[in-house]
Amino acid sequence: MRRDGEGVVRSDWTLIVPLKPLDQAKSRLSGTAVGRLRPTLALAFAQDTVAAALAVPAVVDVVVVTDDPVAAAEVTALGAHVVADVPGAGLNAALEYGAHAVRRARPGAATAALGADLPALRPAELNLVLARAAHHPRAFLADAAGVGTTFLSASAGTPLAPAFGGRSRARHRASGAREIDPSGVESVRRDVDTGDDLRCALALGVGPYTAARLPAGTGGRAAPGPFV
């Protein structure tokens, strides 16, 4: 954490994005109108998430933890770094491994876990979340449903200690992480697991990768401008 010339708290963040093999990802979309596109959309969600995250000035690196070779190639092309999911033991193990890999290379790194399924993500809103998180050793943002978590941060020297999945908002709060003010950051909270989630993301305006892969008639539209 540092302060700029105006006294504003800033951090140089490394974001860690876990991504399942595409043939296993977003299984709850299987029974929807876009179910046949599930692996394609899972990749598109991740591409839009990573592209938006890399556009945030406070983000110095995005590390994607995945064993999927297609996804690895695509996010690498965007400018992310890929770490293999060596534990192969689920979401939280992947995040822990990614955080340890980051801190082996940069011991003083401020790290944050971000879901790979935020196709409407806006850099300005993620930047606001990071600015709020920078005031606390650990902080988290609840998802749009108010039950799960889409973002968890840890300042330099603080363990990430992820507890994602299910009712993770309550677990992260109980672990001592500070809950981030959710006002004005809807795109960072709008993860996509179900058809209803996707419709809500479409209403916000999804990124170009997701918009390009949705079939005609589903309401797909790109977010206005370069994720503004």
The answer to the question of whether 149 is labelled as a binding residue is yes
In the numeric block, which tokens belong to residue 222? 């790109």
The whole model's pTM is what? 0.91
In the numeric block, which tokens belong to residue 193? 């697991």
The answer to the question of whether 168 is labelled as a binding residue is yes
**At the topology level of CATH, where does 10-213 sit?**
Spore Coat Polysaccharide Biosynthesis Protein SpsA; Chain A (3.90.550)
The answer to the question of whether 158 is labelled as a binding residue is no
Q: Helices in the chain by DSSP H: which ranges?
A: 38-54, 69-78, 91-105, 123-133, 168-174, 186-189, 195-204, 208-213
Q: Which residues contact 184 (CB under 8 A, 6 or more apart)?
A: 125, 128
Report how far residue 61's alpha carbon sits from residue 168's, in angstroms, rounded to the nearest whole number: 25
With tokens 């999804």, the residue in question is 206
Strand, coil or helix: 51 = helix
Report how far residue 162's alpha carbon sits from residue 160's, in angstroms, rounded to the nearest whole number: 6
Domain boundaries, the chain: 10-213
Q: Are strands 13-18 and 138-142 parallel, antiparallel or unpaired?
A: unpaired
Is the CB of residue 206 less than 8 Å from the CB of residue 221?
A: yes
Q: Which residues contact 225 (CB under 8 A, 6 or more apart)?
A: none
pLDDT in tens, the chain (228 residues): 454 433 344 569 999 999 999 999 999 998 887 888 999 999 999 999 999 999 999 999 999 999 999 999 999 999 999 999 999 999 999 999 999 999 999 999 999 999 999 999 999 999 999 999 999 999 999 999 999 999 999 999 999 999 999 999 999 999 999 999 999 999 999 999 999 999 999 999 999 999 999 987 665 555 544 333
Is the CB of residue 47 less than 8 Å from the CB of residue 75?
A: yes
Residues paired with 16 in a beta bridge? 63, 113
Residues paired with 112 in a beta bridge? 15, 153
Is the CB of residue 164 less than 8 Å from the CB of residue 20?
A: no
Residue among 31, 21, 25 at smallest CA distance from 119 = 25
Strand, coil or helix: 195 = helix
In the numeric block, which tokens belong to residue 93? 């193990």
